[in-house]
Structure 1
Amino acid sequence: MPIVKAGDIEIHYERAGEGPRLLFISGTGGDLRNKPNVMDGPLPKHFDTLAYDQRGLGQTVKPDEPYSMAQYAEDAVNLMNAIGWQSAMVIGVSFGGMVAQELAITHPHAVEAMVLACTSPGGEGGASYPLHELQEMTREERARHMIPISDRRHDEAWAKANPDTYEQLVAMAAADPFADEPGHAMGQRRQLEARAQHDTWDRLSDIRSPTLICAGRYDGIARPETQEKMVSRIPHAELKFYEGGHLFMLQDKQAFPDMISFLTGGVI
């Protein structure tokens, strides 16, 4: 279990593959113990891939204090420095895309190229769905609330027409095998509190790395209109939509090849 001191915390990470350096920043509640994860997908076949549990999550330290988006960006660059990377390509997914924005703005030298997937800039550009407002719900209640938002095709009529699939989605979304661990609920809450404060809108023009924005056509968390605003603000950015919702990377088989092609300059 690789753990490294990165700034003021110890971070759990995994590293696999060969090729160009790639930092993968995961979404809300990300925990590398949940399998399969990004290290089981196509990225390590093309990149020297580094993924990690963010502060408050998984096997990384969970300080019981307020977290900030700036801290999450510092954690990312501190981890890179700790393993000897001065720069890397970056894929940030959902919450991880928010962290990637902060990283690219505050440490432009560290980001060679970037993919922002199903994420939002906040502020006047539009925020992702306010998950922090759902913390009083049980996990099952949150799952049932979020399924038709995560993919707007999965409305009440769809759920009635596909009851078995719907209940499978609820069970998967509600599952949390580490829920009883000390600090687990606190760390997740701290992350959502930081997420609620995310706002890079007025600074997006400071991003200098080539950027691909990827999004699901039916995503009600990071909405399509927000993606259009974001691509208009980031220099050297392009936008691609995929057939899916917030989980379009699992729903549309073209998503990962497009990301890989973008980051490798078309060499797959």
Structure 2
Amino acid sequence: MLLFCPGLICDARTFAPQTAAFPDSRAINAYGLVDSLQDMARIVIDTADREGAERFDVFGHSMGGRVALEVYRLAPERVRRLALVSTGVHSPREGEPASRAALQQVGYDKGFTALVDQWLPPMVAEPNRDKAELYEPMRQMCLEAGQDVFDANVRALLGRPEVESLLPQIDCPVLVMTGELDAWASPAQHEAIAAVIPNSELVIVPGAGHMLPLEAPGEVNAAIANWLSRPVRD
């Protein structure tokens, strides 16, 4: 089984092109008001348990990449393969709490629509922002999450545990992937991640931004198919 973990104020719709292409897959619809990455990871593991999957592959996008790492930390023997996509592994940096709080304040002062309309555009490659059939469903997905979910996600991100020391210990096949035009989780950041994971493959998708699974579904699906073909430990 392949499990997809969504990012900040996103849900299973992020992975609609992937779940359509890979029948033995499930996307976590959302994390609700859970506000720790570890508890989000337990939701993923509980999903595998309900589906009767003793071992599984985990694909995490953006914040979901950090969730996927916590799944591996909690149950490394169950994770066959790991995909870290459009994500990061660094601890909170100077200024991050203040910048996230400033964005939250936009929602409090001007409404959640104003927050989404400030946050979402930089997450999408500029050429794709004018594609209404792509951008508007993404925007609607984020709007439906609401301020409370945004705040819970931010608390989870700011309380994230250290993971950089975990990366060299990962012993399953790892896909590290981002968009060429991702201004939030850059190719250089993913090159650094791949460099410290022993059994990793780096994929940079041309012309795509942060919302990679929806912006470049064909390229993402091809990378997934290749990743799923890689042999795993017994």
**TM-score by shorter chain over 0.5:** yes
**Shift >6 Å, 4+ stretches:** 166-170
Alpha-carbon deviations, 1:71-106, whole Å to 9, x = none?
A: 222222122123321110111111111101111123
TM-score between both structures, scaled by the size of structure 2: 0.78
Taking the aligned partners of 2:79 and 2:221, their CA distance within structure 1 comes to 19
Deviation at 1:28, TM superposition (A): 1.4
Q: 1:167 to 1:146 in 2, by over 3 A?
A: farther
Contiguous gaps of at least 5 residues in structure 1: 1-20, 57-61
Contact 2:18 2:213 in 1 (8 A): no
Partner of residue 4, structure 1? none
Identical columns (%) = 21
Q: Which one of the candidate residues 246, 253, 259 is aligned to 2:210? A: 246
Partner of residue 74, structure 2? 106
Partner of residue 264, structure 1? 229
Number of equivalenced pairs: 222
Alpha-carbon deviations, 1:54-77, whole Å to 9, x = none?
A: 332xxxxx46xxx22122222221
Contiguous gaps of at least 5 residues in structure 2: none
Is 1:115 the equivalent of 2:115? Answer: no
Taking the aligned partners of 2:69 and 2:101, their CA distance within structure 1 comes to 20
Partner of residue 83, structure 1? 51
Q: Which one of the candidate residues 25, 46, 67 is aligned to 2:22? A: 46
1:201 counterpart SS class: coil
Contact 2:90 2:163 in 1 (8 A): yes
Partner of residue 196, structure 1? 158
TM-score between both structures, scaled by the size of structure 1: 0.69
Q: Which one of the candidate residues 68, 77, 93 is aligned to 2:61? A: 93
Structure 1 stretch displaced more, 73-82 or 40-49 = 40-49
Q: 1:171 to 1:142 in 2, by over 3 A?
A: farther
The structure whose Rg is larger is: 1
